[in-house]
Amino acid sequence: MRLNCSYNRNWARNAKKTRVGDEIYDSKFEASYAQELHFRKAAGEIKDFTPHPKLDLEVNGFNVCSYTPDFLITHNDGSLEYVECKGFPAEIFKLRWKLFYALFFDKAKLTIVQQGCFKINNPKKCVPRKNK
């Protein structure tokens, strides 16, 4: 028996693929965060970052699904941080994030940067937007 689990990734957003350097990102928001990471790396605040690292989410030796967060940041002290830039979190994302969190919360820092909650224009910090 096969379940139809397809969904339209773009049904609730108007994301435009955007190029920064040699990488193509799924949205302008994600690309702007990549630019911030380039600034932070150049300033020596982080050691390195990797866009779109693919992870297999396995439970008891069974590969449940794969998950590709937007960025893997390696900090100067060697610690890892996975970052997900989100505009509108679809239901499938919420399920994958919960599974990802359950498997990786003790191995790395996990961060969701939500569009509309943060304004990324300063390479030193993210500033919360003020409510109008």
Per residue in 32-66, pLDDT tens? Answer: 999 999 999 999 999 999 999 998 989 999 998 88
pLDDT at 102: 87
Find the mean pLDDT for residues 106-123. 68
pLDDT at 40: 94
| 91-109 pLDDT per residue, tens | 788 888 888 888 887 888 8
Angle at 77 between CA 76 and CA 78, to 5 degrees: 90
Q: Distance between alpha carbon 5 and the CA centroid of its chain, in Å? A: 22
